[in-house]
Amino acid sequence: MCYGVPVIAALILNGRNKLKKISSARLDKLNLLLLGGSIMLIVDHLWNGELFLIGKNLAKDLFLGVAMTGAVFGVWLVMNFLEKQKNKKMI
């Protein structure tokens, strides 16, 4: 179930953007990163033989999902920072 946390975050982000009619390449990148993170967590479940994608310890799974979502947000923030720095140097 750890993959559910980044999927839910991606769905909330996507729904918020649609409701507020926000179109942003940066938010689209975040959405793709969240979906990629959830795919990797699904692969992890399949790799470990959890065919129904539910681990033995639900609390540990949810914590892993929160950790993956946090890591994705962190990577996204670093990407945005580096992009801003690159744009400052070009000006």
Which residue, 5, 2, 6, is CA-closest to 45? 2
Per-residue pLDDT of the chain (91 residues; tens, 9 = 90+): 788 999 999 999 999 999 999 889 999 999 999 999 999 988 988 888 877 777 788 898 899 999 999 999 999 999 999 999 998 887 6
How many domains are there within the chain? 1
Q: What is the pLDDT of residue 71?
A: 96
CA distances 62 to 2, 3, 46, 65, 86, Å, are: 5, 8, 17, 5, 36
pTM: 0.86
- CB atoms closer than 10 angstroms to residue 37: 24
Q: What is the pLDDT of residue 91?
A: 66
Q: What is the pLDDT of residue 48?
A: 82
Task: Tell me 53's DSSP state.
Answer: S
Which domain range does residue 51 map to? Answer: 4-90
Cα first-last separation, the chain: 46
